[in-house]
Amino acid sequence: MLFALAQWLQGDFHLLRVFNYLSFRAVMAALTALAMGLACGPRVIRLLHALKVGQTVRNDGPSAHLSKSGTPTMGGALILIGIAASVLLWANLDNRFVWVVMAVTMGFGWIGWVDDYRKIVHQNPRGMSAREKYGWQSLIGALAAFYLMFAISEPGAAEMIERLIAWWRGGFSMTLPAHTNLQLPFMKSISYPLGAAGFIALTYFVIVGASNAINLTDGLDGLVIMPVVLAGGALGVFAYVMGNAVYSKYLLFPHIPGAGELLIFCAAMGGAGLAFLWYNTHPAQLFMGDVGALALGGALGTIAVIVRQEIVLFVMGGVFVAETLSVMLQVVWFKYTRRRYGEGRRLFRMAPLHHHFELAGWKETQVVVRFWIITLMLVLVGLSTLKLR
């Protein structure tokens, strides 16, 4: 809204031309979200306490976590409010990519809110059934994938509609432009053409997979939010490069018109995330809940698809990947050994992976900070692909 107002008034007030710079609006978006989160945090915590929206701790988890029972959860709503308000204030609201990322983020946030609500009302740590949760995630992920296939292929809304009509008349077959190919890190001239079906399948997997991976990682005070801020900030840099015709050409990346505006969203997510960390650091006064974890994962996945950095997100989110794989391996190994030996055995002391290290003797703060350090190193590796090609 402020961007549109500045565009309208800058003919009379030349100072408002500063709004044309993405860097300025990104900084202001981050500061706005940070200030809102810090200011509203105490009120949100008091409100959640009054509503008795307390975390129900798993009985089979580490014993040290039993003291966390009753800590207000659903704090991810604080992050989403900060992101939404900041983006609406500072972003160009005519940008199609801003709206699709917002839609996915709020859609996944709604799924998480319902899940958290059921956990609290029914005092059931499991929340929504896996089938129901995955069904809603799949619907949003599939719709986003279908839309992005046209949005990334064309520079504007009119061209998108023309391509959609051509796709319909062509019997649902379509050749996608080269910039929709799967980009390989460190390779300046090698990319993999996906085709329409491949693009939709990959996009769906990245969005839904990232959402669930971050949700699985959210289990310790402050563990998940800092890696999200770091990965989101790096994706903001990629968005800035992809959206700029000069920089993308110089660095040998595909130019995605309009992608640069996602820097505003990434900055807002960073500011809101840091504000949340203020209250989520050990010992946490507020938990994120599924409302935040699912939403932030969906946002990161959607942005990675738009800027064509799905593999780089996989690298930068190595902690999320490891946490998810630990759960999958634990389940597979337990079922295999139960079938083979008559008794299920565990590959890890407990999954997700952060609980394994807790039970191995690491303090909660040690696990969190060490995972942050690992994420920082992986994000730097991801950013190095900007030049090392």
pLDDT (0 to 100) of residue 54:
63
pLDDT (0 to 100) of residue 125:
62
Query: How confident is residue 92, by pLDDT bands cut at 50, 70 and 90?
Result: very high
Cα within 13 Å of Cα(387), Cβ side: 4
How many other CB atoms are there within 10 angstroms of residue 197's CB atom? 12
- Put simply, whether the predicted model's pTM sits higher than 0.85 gets the answer yes
Tokens representing 47 are 């409100």
User: How far is Cα 117 from Cα 72, in angstroms, rounded to an integer?
Assistant: 12
Report percent pLDDT > 90 for the chain. Answer: 67
Q: Which residues contact 386 (CB under 8 A, 6 or more apart)?
A: 237, 238, 241, 251, 253
221 has binding-site annotation? no
Backbone φ, ψ for residue 251 (5° rounding)? -90, 5
DSSP string, 244-305: -HHHHHHTT----TTGGGHHHHHHHHHHHHHHHHHHHSSSPS---HHHHHHHHHHHHHHHHH
Instruction: Say if CB 257 and CB 243 are below 8 A apart.
Output: yes
More confident residue, 52 or 309: 309
Q: Where are the alpha helices (DSSP H) in the chain?
A: 2-9, 22-50, 76-90, 96-121, 130-153, 157-169, 195-217, 225-243, 245-250, 262-280, 289-306, 310-316, 318-341, 353-359, 364-384
Query: How confident is residue 103, by pLDDT bands cut at 50, 70 and 90?
Result: very high
pLDDT (0 to 100) of residue 321:
97
pLDDT tens, residue by residue, 122-138? 766 667 888 899 999 99
More confident residue, 31 or 189: 31
pLDDT (0 to 100) of residue 67:
57
Angle among Cα 207, 37, 378 to the nearest 5 degrees reads 45
pLDDT (0 to 100) of residue 149:
93
Query: How confident is residue 188, by pLDDT bands cut at 50, 70 and 90?
Result: confident
pLDDT (0 to 100) of residue 255:
93
Residue 192: its H or E element: strand 191-192
Asked if residue 367 has pLDDT above 90, the reply is yes
User: How far is Cα 108 from Cα 133, in angstroms, rounded to an integer?
Assistant: 10
215 has binding-site annotation? yes
* Widest pairwise Cα distance in the chain: 80
Instruction: Say if CB 238 and CB 307 are below 8 A apart.
Output: yes
pLDDT (0 to 100) of residue 68:
64
Average pLDDT of the chain is 90
Single out the residue of 143, 66, 163 nearest to residue 103, CA to CA: 143
Query: How confident is residue 276, by pLDDT bands cut at 50, 70 and 90?
Result: very high
Taking the CA atoms of 317, 323, 325 and 328 in sequence, report the sign of the dihedral they define. negative
Measuring CA to CA, how many Å separate 359 from each of 58, 69, 165, 356, 367?
15, 19, 57, 5, 11
pLDDT tens, residue by residue, 132-187? 999 999 999 999 999 999 999 888 777 888 888 887 877 777 788 888 999 999 88
pLDDT (0 to 100) of residue 333:
94
Report percent pLDDT > 70 for the chain. Answer: 94
pLDDT (0 to 100) of residue 299:
98
More confident residue, 344 or 14: 344
How many other CB atoms are there within 10 angstroms of residue 5's CB atom? 12
Asked if residue 121 has pLDDT above 70, the reply is no
pLDDT tens, residue by residue, 191-234? 888 888 899 999 999 999 999 999 999 989 999 999 999 999 99
Cα within 13 Å of Cα(170), Cβ side: 11
pLDDT (0 to 100) of residue 162:
82
Beta strands at 182-183 and 191-192: parallel, antiparallel or unpaired: antiparallel
User: How far is Cα 81 from Cα 85, in angstroms, rounded to an integer?
Assistant: 6
Give the distance, in angstroms, between the CA of residue 370 and the centroid of all CA atoms in the same chain. 21
pLDDT (0 to 100) of residue 124:
67
pLDDT (0 to 100) of residue 47:
87
More confident residue, 388 or 234: 234
Single out the residue of 383, 386, 389, 356 nearest to residue 370, CA to CA: 356
